[in-house]
Amino acid sequence: MKRATLRDIAQALGITVATVSRALKDYPDISAATKLAVLTTAERLHYAPHPLAVKLRQKAYKVVGVVVPDIVHPFFADVISGIVDVVEALGYHVILSQSNESYEKEIRVTQMLQATGVDGLLVCLSNETVAVDHLRALQDYNLPVVLFDKISSGLDASTVVTNDFQGAYDAVAHLLDQGYTRVAHLKGPAHPENTRQRFAGYQAALAAYGLPFRPEYVLECQAVTHAEGFAFAQQLLALPEPPQAIFAVTDSVAIGAITALKQAGRRVPQDVAVIGFSDWAVCQLLEPTVSSVAQPGYDIGRRASELLLREIQQLRDEQPPEHSHLVLDATVRVRQSSQRPLPGGA
Amino acid sequence: MKRATLRDIAQALGITVATVSRALKDYPDISAATKLAVLTTAERLHYAPHPLAVKLRQKAYKVVGVVVPDIVHPFFADVISGIVDVVEALGYHVILSQSNESYEKEIRVTQMLQATGVDGLLVCLSNETVAVDHLRALQDYNLPVVLFDKISSGLDASTVVTNDFQGAYDAVAHLLDQGYTRVAHLKGPAHPENTRQRFAGYQAALAAYGLPFRPEYVLECQAVTHAEGFAFAQQLLALPEPPQAIFAVTDSVAIGAITALKQAGRRVPQDVAVIGFSDWAVCQLLEPTVSSVAQPGYDIGRRASELLLREIQQLRDEQPPEHSHLVLDATVRVRQSSQRPLPGGA
DNA sequence: TTTCTTTCCGAAATCGGTTACGTTATCGAT
DNA sequence: ATCGATAACGTAACCGATTTCGGAAAGAAA
């Protein structure tokens, strides 16, 4: 079946496309009779406006581009889900791309998105990304960009992130509240701002509780993997005075550490308490269940989309786009791995 | 900055847009001098063709729509990743939508995708979906549709699925090969074809090894959750002659079962062996590590995209689109939970 | 009868490209 | 001088809609 156009309707009725167009959009200066005729033949021909023609005329793509380092990562899947729900509710669609944590590919992908036509971009920077000229170039062409999760201060754009500092602080405070005084941190690499914030939250909590910062309790992961958690936990156990609790920069590191602790004959949480970060679904399935800090992925996606759509609208209205910087709270989810047994307990 | 058009270049050089267009596309009947002039001023003005104008003229959106029940599900994230990689390599983009396992929303979403403009659709049906008229309607408008994972025989379309039968057969055969004779199956609900195939594979393996089918060893999950696995495992243990091994329709059910077994004082795999299906990442993190059947999600995405892009091309060439039906092998990943200890072992 | 409103619709420009077709200029061949 | 071929570019239709402007017809007011 060939798709019907305004011309088909017009020819069937012996009128012009202009009249048909206005009849379909319920303009006041079209008679009720013609409106009815147009509507019924439009129905009969299964007419639907051609999306490209409308968009070309309206100069609106009705599409936002999304760039994440890795679609498969559960956190990003959450974010994407939030984005899709918000933008679809406003008649927009989502074009998805991944940078594979590569700076080069991020550049390629953002340019492809601009070339293919989007009204705005939601970007989580790759770990490799330092310079953001490729994004500034997009802004120069009136393409609004909103950064989320992995952001950059080098770009004048709206941002939405998790409060990593507060999340880390709360996690460590949760440990300290239970009376632990020797709390280690398996931190992430220096670069992504997120992991630095988590480290800062760790330090701040120690300070707030009047505890000394002990450098030997802080080990820096590079790949942030299960294997690193495993190795570093063993290293901590080998200390003359091993820690009573561990705050890991990520769940995979935490789980690796728990595995190492168990293999070394330590019980979790009785001998060593552990808490991770990100609250992956696996945390609820492990034994013991793993405490973690939940990042509001879905909400990050929602809020970032809302900011972007607002900026898109402002640009259409010839207003200068306003930038906002949102910091969403992380939530400590206390499970078995970080619960200190009561002194008098069984 | 305003984006440059062909007219801007043409006016700057005192020629027409037609000449500029052809110069940029390196037509033979444009002089080298004009080509050079056009190219340099195009460069100077940062010219880029307007995507909508090109697409309207070419009647190609360069976009494929993807509908999955749930973006957050790791299997679908894998599939999507495969899709994105393939279609981007061919200059297409991916518009993503989710049906939330709702028939109504699936209809809405597919119609929205058609309305917004896509060259083809990759769809995994929701669990609720039985009728597929909404998809047949799309085909009637020359919009090719490829189904993957959850498919329907009611639609004349290409399909790409996991070989659930073979995967289940192999998983059960793996158990039987180790000498187990009493193997239970926690099966899925009747409707999705996938879980039926897994059940069939279970039965076929029993038959192939000359073992009787014992109805009391087969329990049917409805929600296919951790909790159901937990409950049904307890039920199996209460049998006068409990099974020696369990094949679960899904990893979450398998993990729930393992939890129940442990709580009942049974050791996995020494007392009861367990194997799941889907090979989620958590399988490698649990203790014991969980055996499972890996579905080739990324490959399903790749192959489905390839089929769709082929059909899109065939339609452009006025050829009748050929449909293919791909069945990709599942792979048993043997880990600790299903390894029977050697009789003479420690 | 003239003029002024309304009502209702068509003509045409526009969005930004692509491309079939036509035109002009130039040169060699006849 | 005439014809044909070729090179190089312009004209205009086209993709499918939207929207400004304007105009014909009919009725109302003068």
Q: What is the pLDDT of residues A24-72, one digit of tens each?
A: 999 998 999 999 999 999 999 999 999 999 999 999 999 999 999 999 9
CB-CB contact of A224 with A252 (8 Å): yes
* Residue A246, number of CB atoms within 10 A of its CB: 31
- From chain B, the residues in CB contact with A96 under 8 A are 80, 84, 94-96
Report the candidate in B105, B88, B6, B94 with the shortest Cα–Cα distance to residue B47: B6
Q: For residue range B71-106, list pLDDT tens digits in order.
A: 999 999 999 999 999 999 999 999 999 999 999 999
Closest by Cβ to B285, choosing from A61, A98, A226: A226
Closest by Cβ to B94, choosing from A61, A78, A96: A96
Report the Cα A162 to chain-centroid distance in Å.
Answer: 9
Residue closest to sugar C1' of C19 by CA: B18
Query: In sequence order, which residues have a C-beta less than 8 Å from that of residue A180 and are 6 or more positions away?
Result: A244, A245, A273, A340
Q: What pLDDT sits at residue B346? A: 42
Residue B10 CB-half CA count within 13 A: 11
Residue B118 CB-half CA count within 13 A: 32
List helix spans (H) across B14-142.
17-24, 32-44, 51-58, 74-89, 103-116, 133-140
| Interface membership of B55 toward A (CB under 8 Å) | yes
| A309-329 average pLDDT score | 95
Q: Is the pLDDT of residue B343 over 70?
A: no
| Interface membership of A142 toward B (CB under 8 Å) | yes
Q: Is the pLDDT of residue B35 over 80?
A: yes
Residue A319 CB-half CA count within 13 A: 9
Q: What pLDDT sits at residue B165? A: 98
What torsion, rounded to 10 degrees, do the Cα atoms A110, B86, B83, A296 define?
-30
Strands B120-123 and B93-98 come out as: unpaired
| Interface membership of B315 toward A (CB under 8 Å) | no
User: Coil, strand or helix: which one is B262?
Assistant: helix
- From chain A, the residues in CB contact with B72 under 8 A are 74, 77-78, 81
Q: Which nucleotides of C are covered by protein (CB under 7 A)?
A: 7-12, 14-20
Q: What pLDDT sits at residue A296? A: 97
Q: Is the pLDDT of residue B266 over 50?
A: yes
Closest by Cβ to A71, choosing from B84, B97, B114: B84
Strands B145-148 and A325-328 come out as: unpaired
Please, what are the domains in chain B?
6-49 (1.10.260.40), 62-156+297-328 (3.40.50.2300), 164-295+333-338 (3.40.50.2300)
Residue closest to sugar C1' of D14 by CA: B57
Residue A273 CB-half CA count within 13 A: 26
Q: Is the pLDDT of residue A346 over 50?
A: no
Mean pLDDT of chain A: 95
Q: How far apart are CA A50 and CA A41, in angstroms?
A: 17
CB-CB contact of B244 with B172 (8 Å): no
What's A121-165 look like in SS3?
A: EEECCCCCCCCCHHHHHHHHCCCCEEEECCCCCCCCCEEEEECHH
Q: How far apart are CA A218 and CA B341, in angstroms?
A: 40
User: Token pair of A139, please?
Assistant: 């802004």
User: Would you tell me the crossing angle of helices A74-89 and A297-316 to the nearest 10 degrees?
Assistant: 40
Q: What pLDDT sits at residue A345? A: 44
Strands A331-333 and A292-294 come out as: antiparallel
| Interface membership of A123 toward B (CB under 8 Å) | no
Q: For residue range A98-116, list pLDDT tens digits in order.
A: 999 999 999 999 999 999 9
Q: Which nucleotide is nearest to B29 (CA to C1')?
A: D8
- From chain B, the residues in CB contact with A52 under 8 A are 52, 55-56, 61, 117
- Residues at the strand D interface (Cβ < 7 Å): A 3, 5-7, 17-18, 21-22, 24-25, 29, 47-50, 53-54, 56-58; B 14-19, 29-34, 53, 56-57, 59
Q: Which residues pair with B51 in a beta bridge?
A: none
User: Would you tell me the crossing angle of helices B103-116 and B133-140 to the nearest 10 degrees?
Assistant: 10
Q: How far apart are CA B78 and CA B83, in angstroms?
A: 9
CB-CB contact of A304 with A64 (8 Å): no
Q: Who among residues 21-60 of B has its Cβ near strand C, under 7 Å?
A: 21-22, 24-25, 47-50, 53-54, 56-58
- From chain B, the residues in CB contact with A93 under 8 A are 95, 97, 112-113, 116
| Interface membership of B48 toward A (CB under 8 Å) | yes
Q: What pLDDT sits at residue A287? A: 83
* Residue A219, number of CB atoms within 10 A of its CB: 19
Query: In sequence order, which residues have a C-beta less than 8 Å from that of residue B306 and are 6 or more positions away?
Result: B86
